[in-house]
Structure 1
Amino acid sequence: MGDVSVKEKAELDVLQKELAWLLKNEVHPVLNGVRETLQECYDCLPFHGAAEKVAEQDTQPQRILLTCPNASSINFKSVVTLTGDCVEEADLQFKHKQGKEHHLFRTKVKQGCVWRLPQIRDAGNHLCSALEIASKNDPTYEYKSVKEVFLLLDELMDSLLKSRQCLSLPKRKSIQDLLDSQQLLSFKPPLPNDVAISFYIHTSKLVLALYFLHTNSQHQRVEITHRVQVEAMVKWLNEAIIFFTLSLQQCQQLKDKLMAVSKILENP
């Protein structure tokens, strides 16, 4: 029994040294790698956040054709100009029923009007928080315990998840929110009374949703009778999603390494 005890103690000593080595030699390089990844993401994500971000970023307008991902009975397409986190110009055309006939309706955003995409701004703000967390301690700082590192990584990963979710999980607007939106007034000629639209981001795509409405007089409410959307991939959105995912993977791999050693030490 004494030999086993000595052997176990020797193994625990080795694990303690391995854990100390990980804390000293792995944490800072991983955090530095995450910072570099997030900096690339910051450089590619054109959001209106801090004043210095707006000033330093030379955002080039992008002319984008939005088309239906699947065959649709409604002829709907749009050409937009995307500048950073704003749709600055948009030309729409879709079939709209007038009486018993369908006619092609065309409209465009008035000059000087913009349609802001708050998802990009929100993702950028969470990204700034993640950068601050990853830069909290300078390279000479010595991490004392696994718990300390886990608290830092959990906080960092929470900001990263929120950043990614801002883009990948768009918040659906209610019918009333759509109808109350002042941005619907930015079209010339005005949209028909039974039509509402919404621009939003879904992962790496810019989406324009078109809603056909009906007023239910019996229940005194407006209902959506049909919805169709057009979309297009945006390169820098795709890059941002990749950067967020890569950063999360880097954090998780470090957590897994530390967890594997610390669990054995806790339950030898």
Structure 2
Amino acid sequence: MDVTKEDDPEIETLRQELDWLLTDQVHKVLEEISSILWECSRRLPTRPGHDESKSLVMPQRLLLSCTNGSNGSVKCVVTLKGDRISDGDISFKHKQGKDNHVYKTSINPEVTWKLQQVQDATNFLYSAINIIEEQDDRTGYTSAKQVILLLDRVIDSLNQGRSALAFPKRKSLEELVYNRNMQTLRPSVPNHVALSFYVHASKLILSVYHLGNNALTHQLDIISRNQVECSVQWLNEAVMLFTLALQRCQQLKDKVCLLQQCDNGS
């Protein structure tokens, strides 16, 4: 007599492992992921209603410099706290007529420069935390599909949060010129210059763009770009914790998906 799929002892063992995973292990792994995310939240701006005493976000005085070690044409010293840059001094060389001049400007301490990337990463982080903490299945989950859908939502939020820090979006020329953060500079920079602070993984970067009319298109274009940067430890730690949480989510999802194949009733 042939052994049917239902009677296959190997299949039955896999089903039992899936049941054990759903009833006993999923919530433990989610608690571990939640702990990682709360640790990550200590590196990012605190949300209202959360304990600020656990936050590691402190004002830091940072010197941004050229990566090649040269003096460069841009110098910058700023104070960074979370998603805000304040109390900054910036100088850069720019051409006026036939001569090169050093132009100096400062960030108005009363009107800080906001890093939207950090704010976006914070929003996505807390979204992932809320998705996990909204679950009330300490006695176990009823199906693999239920867990996979939950993990997909968490993974989506974490991917967007990490990407906000690790992969800055390229700004258009219009976005550079009309960036509202430029209003924090005193004195204002010349009309043919645009500044942009942004985050790239563990680094804070300042790019200075010199603009001019393109001889071919007769439109405003970027003539040159100079940048200075500085490594920021808490940014590096935040990206690493996002990555760790994503890995744990994916490992759990892969295991559930594998075991689901032997449980068509899920």
1:91–1:146 CA distance, 2 compared to 1 (3 A):
same
Query: What is the CA deviation profile of residues 160-180 of structure 1, one whole-angstrom value per residue up to 9, with x for unaligned ones?
Result: 111111111212222122222
Does residue 51 of structure 1 match 2:43?
A: no
The gaps in structure 2 that reach 5 residues or longer are: none
Matched with 2:16 is 17
1:3–1:87 CA distance, 2 compared to 1 (3 A):
same
2:138 is paired with a residue of what secondary structure? coil
1:177–1:3 CA distance, 2 compared to 1 (3 A):
closer
Question: Which amino acid in the other structure matches residue 19 of structure 1?
Answer: L
How does the TM-score come out when normalised to structure 1? Answer: 0.89
1:3–1:186 CA distance, 2 compared to 1 (3 A):
closer
Give the Cα separation in 2 of the matches to 1:12 and 1:165: 40
1:29 is paired with a residue of what secondary structure? helix
1:223–1:74 CA distance, 2 compared to 1 (3 A):
farther
Query: What is the CA deviation profile of residues 139-167 of structure 1, one whole-angstrom value per residue up to 9, with x for unaligned ones?
Result: 53321111111000001111111111111
Matched with 1:81 is 79
Give the Cα separation in 1 of the matches to 2:258 and 2:57: 45
Question: Which amino acid in the other structure matches residue 175 of structure 1?
Answer: L
Q: CA deviation at 1:116?
A: 0.4
Matched with 2:90 is 92
User: How many residue pairs end up in the alignment?
Assistant: 263
Judging by fraction of residues, say which structure has more helix: 1
1:65 is paired with a residue of what secondary structure? strand
1:53–1:88 CA distance, 2 compared to 1 (3 A):
farther
Matched with 2:222 is 224
Does residue 234 of structure 1 match 2:247?
A: no
Q: Could you tell me the percent identity over the aligned residues?
A: 43
1:6–1:27 CA distance, 2 compared to 1 (3 A):
closer
Matched with 1:196 is 194
Q: CA deviation at 1:96?
A: 1.5
The gaps in structure 1 that reach 5 residues or longer are: none
How does the TM-score come out when normalised to structure 2? Answer: 0.89
Give the Cα separation in 1 of the matches to 2:260 and 2:160: 28
RMSD of aligned alpha carbons: 2.4
1:110–1:129 CA distance, 2 compared to 1 (3 A):
closer
Give the Cα separation in 1 of the matches to 2:157 and 2:82: 22
2:60 to 46, 59, 62: 62
Matched with 1:213 is 211
Question: Which amino acid in the other structure matches residue 107 of structure 1?
Answer: T
Q: CA deviation at 1:99?
A: 2.2
2:8 is paired with a residue of what secondary structure? helix
2:99 to 101, 104, 109: 101
1:255–1:231 CA distance, 2 compared to 1 (3 A):
same
Question: Which amino acid in the other structure matches residue 84 of structure 1?
Answer: G
1:52 is paired with a residue of what secondary structure? coil
